[in-house]
Amino acid sequence: SYELTQPPSVSVSPGQTARITCSGDALPKHYAYWYQQKPAQAPVLVIYKDTERPSGIPNRLSGSSSGTTITLTISGAQAEDEADYYCQSVDSSGAWVFGGGTKLTVL
């Protein structure tokens, strides 16, 4: 079955830049999305269609795509950015697929 691969954890100092990657063979063919999830909360969409940012999402969060890898970049990380981040895309049948999630620690 199709898989999206993320690093389990990323650490960043406040004010620095964090990059979270997600790799998948079908990413060049299908849009990808990024979700932020804080403890005991539902996921929140922070990037859609690889690079677009929903309204209300700070512009320090950005998305990029290159080949089979997409990247969520958090510039000038703040304490409030500490969360789990999941990439999501679809497989060839249209089923949603999630990455394993990356825990971002801001310290």
Binding site for other proteins (CB under 8 A): 1, 31, 33, 35, 37, 42-45, 48-49, 52-55, 86, 88, 93-101
Q: How far is the CB of 36 from other proteins (least distance, A)?
A: 11
In the complex with other proteins, which residue's Cβ is closer, 96 or 107? 96
Work out the angle at residue 102's Cα, subtended by the Cα atoms of residues 96 and 105, and round it to the nearest 5 degrees.
150
Of 79, 81, 80, 43, the C-alpha closest to 62 is: 81
- Choose between 15 and 91: whose C-beta lies nearer to other proteins: 91
- Is the Cβ of residue 50 or residue 68 nearer to other proteins in the bound state? 50
Distance of closest approach, residue 53 Cβ to other proteins, in angstroms: 7
Closest approach, Cβ 107 to other proteins, in A, equals 21
Measured from the CB of residue 77, what is the shortest distance to other proteins in angstroms?
22
